[in-house]
Structure 1
Amino acid sequence: MRLPEVERGDSLRNRALIRVISLALGARLPDAARVAFYHKGFVGSALGAWAQQAMRGPSEWSVFERELMGAMVASWNSSPFCVGAHRAIATRGIDGATADACLSDYHRAPIPGPLRATLALLETMTLRPGELHAAEARAAIEAGVSRQQLIDAAAVATLFNIITRYANALDFVIPTDAEFDKAAGMMLKRGYA
């Protein structure tokens, strides 16, 4: 359901900010950013702080690996906006063909074993949470994933299991690849908070 307040902002000040940022970006401000201007209690500063910590905070995973994890969760949740947005950010540090291969079939993609094992755990967490057991965590650890990497990856997946659902529920507009690329640069520079 498309809410007019998400499109244009819920106050005169927010409408002006959306217009100014869109002009500076040279493209329509993506809906994920527009939601931040819609009733602060809806996504609020807590979600922004959590996203900033999970996606940009200290981690043994690179920013680009975490963005790829976000795109993978988005793919499993059939969220084309989030796949496009986070794939665009991931490809600023991961080869585009590798990211696409991962999104197509991470089992066969040319990615390191620890990332593949982590994605297997995140896939179960996302699609079949009732089947997630200690064995999946042990398999990831045996593949070389540290306990902290598992915690960090679980935070990314949890975050994206929430974000992808509200992106779909609010019917986010799907930007062009060029617009996703512009927004990716902005996200790398400004972060999530």
Structure 2
Amino acid sequence: MKQEAVMRLDILNKGYSFGTKALFAVIKAVSGYPLPDAAKLVFYRPGYYGAPAKKFTHAAMRGPSAWSVGDRELMAAYVSSLNRCSFCIKAHGAVAAGAYNDRAKVDAVLADPATAAIEEPLRATLLLLGKLTRENTIAADDIRVTMTAGVSASQIEDALAVCFAFNVTNRLADAFSFFVPSPDAFEAGAKYLLKRGYQ
């Protein structure tokens, strides 16, 4: 997605109850960093968006799966790179790098998964998610090619859940004009997500 100048909705700046603002202040005091906009958005209409989004994203990213946490975070970063969502590329690239303990692997995939030194099932899955993200459609033949690379039906289902979660999140990040913090803040956020997930 091309990022353009947008009007940041006031909800992400001050549209919260006193109790929620106090919670944000405590988090900042403990972590040393303001709560990222992705987390703040969860408090915006929590019954409509926040609670269901948290539940779905946590299941996709940390639920039982043959994919590792690093694999799923890499999928999230790759989908975000195709959508050109700066916040999500940096956030989930940092989490994937932490999960793998390998920043070079993440950078190679974000540059070109077709040539990165990764396992064929992961490569085929990333290429499938790439087609779906770019073209908004995939066909039975795309699934067959992915399965021929050694990816199970349940792995494809799990990967599609990650793809869905981040195609939605990327659009929200751009629509709400998420603030992109410092690399140190992303590293701190990555450690939190690796420890606690998306709950």
Tell me the residue number matched to 1:111: 118
Provide the rounded CA distance (Å) in 1 between the counterparts of 2:30 and 2:44.
20
Q: Find the aligned partners of 2:93 and 2:20 in 1 and give their Cα distance.
A: 28
Correspondence for 1:25 among 22, 25, 31: 31
- Residue 188 of structure 1 pairs with residue 186 of structure 2: no
Unmatched segments (≥5 aa) in structure 2: 1-6
CA distance, structure 1, for counterparts of residue 93 and residue 170 of structure 2: 14
Q: In the TM superposition, what whole-angstrom CA distance separates every residue of 1:95-133 from its partner, at most 9, and x where no partner exists?
A: 100100100111111111000000111011111123x11
What number of residue pairs does the alignment pair up? 192
Identity percentage of aligned residues? 44
Higher mean Cα deviation, 20-29 or 37-46?
37-46
Q: Does the 8 A contact of 1:61 with 1:149 survive in 2?
A: yes
Deviations 1:143-178 (A, max 9, x none): 010111000000000111101000010000001111
Q: Specify the code of the residue in structure 2 equivalent to 1:103.
A: L
State the TM-score, normalized to the length of structure 2: 0.93
- Say yes or no: does 1:87 pair with 2:104: no
AA of the residue aligned to 1:97: A
Kindly report structure 1 stretches of 4+ aligned residues shifted beyond 3 Å.
none
Distance in structure 2 (CA, Å) of the matches to 1:22 and 1:113: 41
Check 1:126–1:87 CA distance in 2 against 1; reply closer, same or farther (3 A cut).
same
Deviation of 1:38 after TM superposition, in Å, equals: 2.2
CA distance in 2, matches of 1:9, 1:99: 36
Structure 1 residue 36, shift from structure 2 partner: 1.6
Residue of 65, 73, 88 corresponding to 1:67: 73
Q: Distance in 2 between matches of 1:42 and 1:97?
A: 38
Pick from 35, 51, 60 the counterpart of residue 54 of structure 1: 60
Unaligned 5+ runs, structure 1: none
1:2 is aligned to 2:4: no
SS of the residue 1:93 aligns to: helix
Please state if 1:137 is matched with 2:126. Answer: no
Q: CA RMSD in A?
A: 1.1
- Whether contact under 8 Å (1:59, 1:149) holds in the other structure is yes
AA paired with 1:3?
L
User: What's the offset of the Cα at 1:9?
Assistant: 4.6
TM-score (norm. length: structure 1): 0.96
The CA deviation at 1:187 is 1.2
How many Å apart are 1:189 and its aligned residue?
Answer: 1.7
Provide the C-alpha distance between the structure 2 equivalents of 1:90 and 1:17, rounded to a whole number of angstroms.
Answer: 27
